[in-house]
Structure 1
Amino acid sequence: MRLIKYFTLVLLTTTMTGQELQSQKEKNLWNDFTYDIGNVFGGVGYSYSRPFHWKGNDWANFGYLTGGTLLLFTVDDEFIDWKNGFEQDVPDLIKDYGNKYGAPENNYMLTGGVYLAGLFTKNEKLRRTGVLLISSATAGGFLQQVSKRIIGRARPKSGASSATFDPLHLDRVYDYDSFPSGHAMLAFSNAYAIAKQFKSPWVKGALYTVGMIPGLVRVIDDFHWISDVAFSTVLSIFIVESIDKYLDSKYDEKYNDQKPKNVSWNLSFGPNTLGVSLHF
């Protein structure tokens, strides 16, 4: 009987030791990398599938977004005329930042840098942030490239009005690829995702402000209408939120574990009201 207990103890000890070694073996750089890349594509797919799962409030927010965009559409030309009065007063530094930061190549340098820092330092929270940044940029970037070709809206610098369209092209038609704004979408996606790391509303507000600069600069430089930028900014929030929800089930590390669970974004739209509100 003692012999049986002895062999049972040895077997259990060997099994537990083997499991521990296997667990340590699995926690290597390559496995973390492949796991994260899988979550990047999983997050993109999850964000694209969300409209099939929307409920009443989700459709209401999408309706507000559509209605708000159409409302701004009616004043696009007037806004371009208005901004021409102070365009020359905007510092070149702000313009350079706005035009270069939102470009895809620079965007992926930032997002990739954040992710690699988390990967090599074995910081799961930073890894997750990098995955959120990359997947949000990929989802938004692909969506806006396809939308540009389908919609074919004229840019302000083309000289055409905001209601001019040349839709349904497989190839990109320059000067007719205004809607939506890729710079605004990529820049604000980054700002919104990074702001999730902080609890302070002042830090969040500062990051949101910096994230909106590229979109506004693109309006000032006649690359986009204000409705392009507004739509792209709000859409980037939807994308980041959906992917972040997906990543909750993939990583143990959460953002600000003590934050309220009922944090939500809502759009408000009325005869004299258009806005985005954060409830917490």
Structure 2
Amino acid sequence: MLILKFESLMGYFPMIEFIKNYQDNKRRIYQEPSIDIYNEEYYTKECGGSEIFKLSQGSELDDVRSYVLKLCSLKPGDTAIDIGCGRGELLFALANHELHHVVGIDLSQESVNLSLQTCQQQIAQGQVTVKNMSATQLEFDNNTFDIAFMTDLVEHLSDANLRQAISEAYRVLKPGGTLIIHTLPTINFKLYGQYITKYYFRLKSIDWPTPTTKEEIVFGHINIQSKSSLKLYLHQSFLSNDIQVFYAPVNPNGLLKKLITLLGLWSIMSPHLWAIAKK
């Protein structure tokens, strides 16, 4: 009877869940999974934005990638690289901004294949190039690109590989070039925000799944960041006064999100972490 009562309490008090799972959710870096997990099913069913991708065949962006474009100042004639290009929808959107050239690279051959399909027309017109390549060894000259993107890549890289990937991004950027990063979830969200969010939706009789460490590993999320940890990685290549790292929602609408904005609680409630670094 006591056990049953305790289990029922677990469903209603997010702090009890927080205490129970604290050790599992603290920041730790796991070994990178096999590249084989990044298959077609991963990109078309499990990866963020997959539903919009299936409906639009890559011609429309999900909220995350739409927000990414809002963070950069694109000019006709710029060159861009999407490091970890996934399905290629960001390449498609960038090509429509009349950039001089857009390059997408990914270590997963399945990603490359999907990106080639998404950007068939742009590739034929010479606007886009897609290559099977590691983020830690970019096969481009120094000072090649005006802007570089790392969208949902950081969390998939080991400590050493993330350091090297950021160093490589810095190397291939032109002086004055910009690196834009998005990563999720965040440490604060895993420790606090997910339980508060779950409790809020439970009050509205809506089931909201709580991510677990095991699930993150299954999806290849082996290096979850905080604002301070991502800053440290960037500081190794970029000057500190040219780095911005911040928490923000991709869509601030809705009663709960407006309340979080009013209270200034996005540092613990947003699963999204963003960075803008200039060379």
Give TM-score, length-normalised by structure 1: 0.25
**Which protein shows a greater Rg?**
1
Structure showing the higher strand proportion among its residues: 2
Structure showing the higher helix proportion among its residues: 1
Give TM-score, length-normalised by structure 2: 0.25
Larger RCO: 1 or 2 (CA < 8 Å, sep 6+): 1
